[in-house]
Amino acid sequence: MSKFKQIVLAISLSGFSAFSWADTTLLNVSYDVMRDFYKDYNPVFQKYYEAKYKDKLSIQQSHGGSSKQARSVIDGLEADVVTMNQSTDIDAIVEKGRQINLGWEKKYADEAAPFSSMQVLIVRKGNPKGIKDWADLIKPNVQVVVPNPKTSGNGRYTFLAAWGAALKQNGGNEAKAREFTRAVFANVPLLDAGGRAATTTFMQRQMGDVLVTFENEAEMIAREFGRGNFEVVYPSVSIDADLPVAVVDKVVDKRGTRKVADEYLRYLWSPEGQEVAAQNYLRPRNAAVAAKYAKQFPPIKLFGVAEFGGMKAAQKKFFDDGAIYDQISAEIAKKR
Amino acid sequence: MKWKQSSVLPGFNLALGYSVLYLSLIVLLPLAALISKSMGLDWASFWAIVTEPRVVASYKVTFGASLIAALINLFVGLLIAWVLVRYSFPGKRFIDALVDLPFALPTAVAGIALATLYAPNGLLGAPLDRLGIKIAFTPAGIVLALTFITLPFVVRTVQPVLEDMEKELEEAASSLGATRWQIFYRVILPTIFPALLTGFTLAFARAIGEFGSVIFIAGNMPFKSEITPLMIISKLEQYDYLGASAIAVVMLVVSFALLLMINGLQWWMTRHRR
């Protein structure tokens, strides 16, 4: 047998054996920024799973904008699990596609969100505009870079963070909160479609004085652009962005993968899973892991979307067509 | 019935049948699905969605910027086609190939490249910024992106017609005492006009639907630089499938009416010349 034939045979055999071994596959449909986390988490889980069940598991990932991914699942993408950046995306799958059963947020601890992030302020090196808190974003000479709340969960969390911070400052006065949030968005020179695009605008194009984004995105910026090129400012109070997960009931029942899918998500709360999260600058729930990484997570006063009656109520009140965000942007456009 | 035309080649029935089937599957069926989806709305709510001030502002941006971009390419495209056909110079083939590049490039790449170049800290954006001219993240950026994307249309439609034109016609006109302007206006322009109009129409139609490149350079400010496709995307983001299909139907109807009008104009002009 020639060398070439041997190689071909070896490759085809190995391909075949891998195929026959990997009888369990999972598809995790996730959002953009989670790419790095699951790249680290999947091998950790696979190792655990293979040791426990002596069975080979392969995990496929799909990433995109959170709501776009949810629409794909509604339209029939066979995801075993979904891992999103806002609960409304999972609620949409429950309501529009009915692939996930009601009550998904009760199936796991912490409202089915294994970790969280929060909105921080990212400023230029040396903080030339002296930005310390939300109140500094409405100064007349400050430009704020934020992704579009109409198209980005990141942008929606920023809007809610500014609104909530103003509520706290003014003893719950809604009119004052509205005025403050409008002043913040009046300082926004452009609205990128997603969080990553906003990062590019701020870091690459050097537009604006402050970028508002997730804490874990700040770590991505550090890895990409170097730690010395910007500073992270923690505001006095911020929003707790829960990042929820769910098993897609219809798909796992059809494919017979419920047990694996459930274990895959459950393991996110294990010390090992929580450790991977902390390494990716996602705030862990596990107290021991949180204590270990306390240095990288300064304690900040946080409020959750519960403040607004949950993400669904917030979506309706602020971000639906004709709701408060649209009214505010119309007022800003008129003034210009 | 006498609508079967005689031809040297056989197969009229087969060819027509195949064309109709193909067009139905590829074009008509998806569009019908879109329209039937929007039928889920009653007339009053359909009208309320498509006439919302912010959406109306986006029509103006989309159709306005597309028109300007197509007009720019009408003139610049003719010039490039003329240069490529009538002159020979070193690197001509290279430039000829360059013209098609906007077709091959993923539109998002084009958008990001243009935004990088024309941003206030970009290679061209920085000097322009000092002069007080802003291009990226303004409506001018939208026109720029659309001009780039639709460049090949006019060039590629006019080029073959110019190549087929006999130089002798111009020489004859000249020997009969026509001025240069008269030669262009009376001899060249009528010949290339149908091709020019086709190129313009294609460029205009392509620009109206463009999303990928524009989104990176527009700035996307409400009432100022939001394009209609973005309004559709933000409706989808709220899982408002009906609202999204309503705006899509408006774009479809307006685009089709404009294309029909331009085609009608072309037909009318060709008929009146003879």
pLDDT digits (tens, 9 = 90+) for B89-115: 999 999 999 999 998 999 999 999 999
How large is the angle between the packed helices A324-335 and B53-86, nearest 10 degrees?
A: 60
Q: A21 pLDDT band (50/70/90 cuts)?
A: very low
Domain that holds residue B143: 43-273
Across the interface, whether the CB atoms of B238 and A321 are under 8 A apart is answered yes
Most distant CA atoms of chain A, gap in Å: 83
CATH code, domain with B57? 1.10.3720.10
The CATH fold assigned to A116-241+299-335 is D-Maltodextrin-Binding Protein; domain 2 (3.40.190)
Residue B59 in any domain: the answer is yes
Q: Does A117 touch chain B (CB under 8 A)?
A: no
pLDDT above 90 (res B263): no
**DSSP per position, A180-238:** HHHHHHHT---EESSHHHHHHHHHTS--SSEEEEEHHHHHHHHHHH-GGGEEEE--SEE
> Residue B203 CB: number of other CB atoms within 10 A?
29
| Topology, domain A3-114+243-269 | D-Maltodextrin-Binding Protein; domain 2 (3.40.190)
CA-based nearest distance B118→chain A, Å:
10
Domain with CATH 3.40.190.10 in chain A: 3-114+243-269, 116-241+299-335
Contact B219 A190 (CB under 8 A): yes
Backbone angles phi, psi at B123, to 5 degrees: -60, -45
Q: A171-176 — which CB contacts under 8 Å span 24+ positions? A: none
- Write the residue in B53, B121, B237 that is nearest to A205 by C-beta: B121
**Alpha helical stretches, state H, chain A:** 3-21, 35-53, 66-74, 87-92, 109-112, 153-169, 174-186, 195-203, 215-225, 249-255, 258-266, 271-279, 287-292, 311-314, 324-335
Residues A144, A190 contacting (CB under 8 angstroms): no
The encoded tokens of residue A138 equal 């409405």
Of A96, A151, A197, Cβ closest to residue B237: A151
User: What pLDDT is stored for residue A34 in this prediction?
Assistant: 87
Judged by DSSP in three states, A57 sits in strand
pLDDT digits (tens, 9 = 90+) for A108-159: 999 999 999 999 999 999 999 999 999 999 999 999 999 999 988 899 999 9
pLDDT of A2 reads 54
* B118-152 pLDDT per residue, tens: 998 899 999 999 999 999 999 999 999 999 999 99
Report yes or no on B14 lying in a domain: no
Q: Is the pLDDT of residue A15 over 70?
A: no
Whether the pLDDT of residue B181 is over 80: the answer is yes
Minimal Cα distance from B211: which residue of A?
Answer: A193
* Contact call for A67 and B52, based on CB within 8 A: no
Q: Is the pLDDT of residue B173 over 70?
A: yes
DSSP secondary structure, A295-314, as one string? GGS---EEE-GGGGTSHHHH
Cross-chain Cβ contact B115/A205 below 8 Å: yes
Domain membership flag for residue B244: yes
In a domain, B171, yes or no: yes
The two beta strands, A283-284 and A115-124, are antiparallel
Give the separation between CA A22 and CA A18, rounded to whole angstroms: 6
Interchain proximity B115–A329, CB inside 8 Å: no
Q: How far is it, in rounded angstroms, from Cα B47 to Cα B53?
A: 12
In total, how many domains does chain B have? 1
CB–CB of B240 and A336 under 8 A?
Answer: no
- CB-nearest to A320 from B119, B120, B238 is B238
Q: For the whole model, what pTM was predicted?
A: 0.84
Interface contact flag, B119 A207, Cβ < 8 Å? yes
CA distances to A26, A149, A164, A235, A300 from A239, in Å: 32, 15, 8, 10, 10
Q: What interface predicted TM-score (ipTM) does this complex get?
A: 0.77
A330–B222 C-beta distance less than 8 A: yes
Average pLDDT over residues B46-59: 94
Q: Are B80 and B162 in contact (CB under 8 A)?
A: no
Instruction: Tell me the chain B residues in contact with residue A330 when contact means C-beta distances shorter than 8 Å.
Output: 53-54, 222-223
Residue A19 scores a pLDDT above 60: no
Give the one of B116, B219, B237 whose C-beta lies nearest to A150's C-beta.
B237
